[in-house]
Every structure is written in C-alpha cells, then in structure tokens.
Amino acid sequence: MDMTDITNMFSQPAPRLHWGGAIGLWDICRNKVIGVPVLDLFFEQAVDPDLKAFIKTGIETVTLPGIKNLQDFLEKEGLTYPPIAPRKKIDDEQIARSLREILRLSLYLDFHSLMEITREDVKKIVWDIVVQDKKAFDAVIDLKRKKGWLLNPPNV
C-alpha cells in the first residue's frame, strides 16, 4: 500500500450540492452575467484611457472568468446555469433581466435598511420606498412572464 492508497482510503466524495448552495451560485452567476452588458456600456461611454483599461481588465480577468467558473461548476453538478448573452448587442430581454436584478438589489437594500432603523418617521419613508420598489419588481416580472423572458433558477 502506497501513500495514494492511504489518501484515497480517507477521502470522502463531495456531498451533493443542497438547494441553498445551488441557488446561491445561480444568483451570483446571474448577477455577473447581467453585469457584463452594463460594463460593456460603461466601457463604450468612458473617455479616460485609465478608466477604460480598468473596465476592460475587470471584464476580461474578473467577470468573464468568474462566470465561466460558476457555469462549469453548475454544469458539473448537473444543473442549468444562466447563459451569457452575445456581447455588444443588448436586446430587450437582457434589458428587462437587468432591470429585474437592479430592483431585486434595491429590495434587499430596502429591507436591510428597514431592519436597522429605529425611528418611526424614517421607517415610514423606507416602507413607502419598499412598496414602490416591490410594485416595480412585480411589474417587471409580469412583463418578463408575458414576453416569455423568465429565466428560472436551476432544478435540483
């Protein structure tokens, strides 16, 4: 028996990915996928050469490789993953997807803020914002459903 045999004896197969981990990876991947067209727009609009280089480096060395790693992992686990759309051409579905994610983040921030506030007058202001953001989120979901643009999380 050599060292490899001993190592194999004690190594355990990786446990199955649970739904919380799957949806977490899905959400991170989706957020990065949605960020690509925004970064492309920023790159196209930027004038400063250092800023343009910063954005380009971020896209090529952080965002796209991160998406690829997440997609590869989800695929290896037998799950679907959010696809990245063709670059430089943003279609209506991708715009609606980005709007949904912006509103989703707004709702996260709204609720986080609401839990930190102790003054009733400030809670009222934030609650009114929550209600409006939720209406906007529901409206973009309804539009996406109507157009057949909903991208559902993975089946586990």
Give the model confidence (pLDDT) of 17-57 as tens digits.
777 778 888 888 888 888 888 889 889 999 999 999 999 99
Nearest by Cα to 94 from 34, 30, 25: 34
**Of the candidates 66, 86, 106, which is a domain's last residue?**
86
Domain assignment present for residue 7? The answer is no
Nearest by Cα to 25 from 93, 63, 58, 73: 73
Domain co-membership, 23 together with 80: yes
**Of the candidates 86, 110, 139, which is a domain's last residue?**
86
116 Cα distance to chain centroid: 25
**Of the candidates 86, 103, 129, which is a domain's last residue?**
86
Domain assignment present for residue 26? The answer is yes
What does each C-alpha distance from 140 to 32, 47, 97, 137 come to in angstroms?
A: 19, 32, 8, 5
Domain assignment present for residue 154? The answer is no
The whole domain housing 76 covers 18-86
Domain co-membership, 63 together with 46: yes
147 Cα distance to chain centroid: 21
Q: Are 60 and 136 in contact (CB under 8 A)?
A: no
DSSP 87: T
Domain co-membership, 58 together with 73: yes
Domain co-membership, 34 together with 64: yes
Domain assignment present for residue 8? The answer is no
Domain assignment present for residue 62? The answer is yes
Domain assignment present for residue 63? The answer is yes
Q: What is the pLDDT of residue 4?
A: 63
For the segment 145-156, the average pLDDT, to the nearest whole number, is 74
Domain assignment present for residue 4? The answer is no
Measured over the CA atoms of residue 52, residue 54, residue 59 and residue 63, the dihedral's sign is negative
Alpha carbons 130 and 14: distance in angstroms, whole number: 40
pTM of the model: 0.66
Domain co-membership, 135 together with 98: yes
- pLDDT tens-place string over residues 93-139: 888 888 888 888 888 888 888 888 888 888 898 899 999 999 999 99
Alpha carbons 64 and 29: distance in angstroms, whole number: 10
Confidence label for 61 from pLDDT (cuts 50, 70 and 90): very high
3-state secondary structure of 82: coil
Count of the separate structural domains present in the chain: 2
Domain assignment present for residue 107? The answer is yes
Structure tokens at 36: 């690509």
